[in-house]
Amino acid sequence: MRNFILAIAGIVIGTVAHAEILIGFGAPALDGGQRAIMNGFVSKAEEKGWEVVVSNANSDAQQQANQLDNFIAQGVDAIVTVPVDSKAVCSSVERAQDAGILFYTIDRSTIGCKVNMTVQANNYLAGQQAAEELVRLLSVKYSKAKGTVLELQGNMGQNVAQLRGGGFNDVMKKHPDIKVISKPTQWQAENFGQATLDVVGSSAIDGIYYHSDCVGTRPISAALDQLNKNYKRGHKDHIFRVAVDGCSDGLQAIKDGWSDQASSQPLPDFGIIVNWIEKELNNEQIQLGSVIQQGAPWSPAKIFESDSGLMLNLATSNVTSANVYNPALWGNIK
């Protein structure tokens, strides 16, 4: 009877190979930029001969907690996750560490607890880059830095959205004649579109800053189309658009003239965390200091100690029409 059941399981699901190292990857969702992050991590882990089991939390913090608990039950060697919620994940971090399992985050860090290491983009810099470009464009338009800007935020429960908003608004605060209207979107495409319709439809907006061009590019364009306010760069009524991520959609919008700037994150490169996971699995210590990767736009970067544990922030690249065709940008990689 046991053999029969095993045979059925084998036919239906396939043989489950037990690699030497098993990593649990907890994705918050598997669309847009998160797919690129997952693929980047999994490919780098598989280069090392590791096996990766992936879960998708569908943006639900409780579901992610259940999935991380399942990784613990499976006895994984390490857990790597992109937290749905930077604070809520801390209870899972605690349970994993109690079970002696290494815990890492990429793309987003924790708030209120320490993990072994985090690799993420310098989201504060990304927000600053977007803001500086927007200020420059408004200054050209009005001969001074003034106007009204719509900020489409991500999920403000995550550190990444807080930093992108923080970097952006800290620059804007230096220009009191620029008014910022902020709207949350929870990273949902329909919310990007709806917020654009609501605000641009009722106010004179000079520019839009959105926390993710992976999610926001198309719905914002569709909304502006609907409002008959979708004009290309160079048109007198063009609404400036700046964003973070540098997804292929976002870069294409710059190439086509609809958008003006993107702070490109090196999403697939977050997977380099495997190098430091390997160190810790071999009981070596991670050294603070410089990290260099030849040819990487974010290189050099630096590992430093933070409130969330060891942190490696990868610099974002300021992408405009001048350099949007750079083949090193991940959004240009097929």
Nearer to other proteins, 184 or 266 (CB): 184
By C-alpha distance, which of 171, 149, 263 is closest to 214? Answer: 263
Kindly report the length of the chain.
334
Integer CA distances (angstroms), 164 to 50, 135, 244, 325, in order = 33, 16, 8, 24
Read off the tokens for 221.
């364009």
Exposed, middle or buried, 40 (CB in 10 Å: 0-12/13-18/19+)? Answer: buried
Nearer to other proteins, 186 or 323 (CB): 186
Strand order in the sheet with 78-81: 51-56, 22-27, 78-81, 102-106, 115-121, 309-314, 301-306, 289-291
Nearer to other proteins, 153 or 261 (CB): 153
Nearer to other proteins, 82 or 239 (CB): 82
Rounded least distance, CB 297 to other proteins, Å: 31
- Which residues are at the interface with other proteins (CB under 8 A)? 2, 5-6, 9, 13, 16, 27, 30, 53-56, 58-62, 65-67, 69-70, 72-75, 85-88, 90-91, 99, 111-112, 155-157, 162, 184, 186
Rounded least distance, CB 73 to other proteins, Å: 4
- Which strand (E) or helix (H) includes residue 134? helix 123-142
Nearer to other proteins, 93 or 239 (CB): 93
Read off the tokens for 207.
């520019």
Rounded least distance, CB 86 to other proteins, Å: 7
Rounded least distance, CB 87 to other proteins, Å: 4
By C-alpha distance, which of 306, 282, 304, 302 is closest to 292? Answer: 302
Rounded least distance, CB 83 to other proteins, Å: 10
In our burial notation (b when 16+ CB lie closer than 10 A, e otherwise), range 101-131 reads bbbbbbbbbbbebbbbbbbbbbbbbbbbbbb
Nearer to other proteins, 195 or 251 (CB): 195
Rounded least distance, CB 113 to other proteins, Å: 9
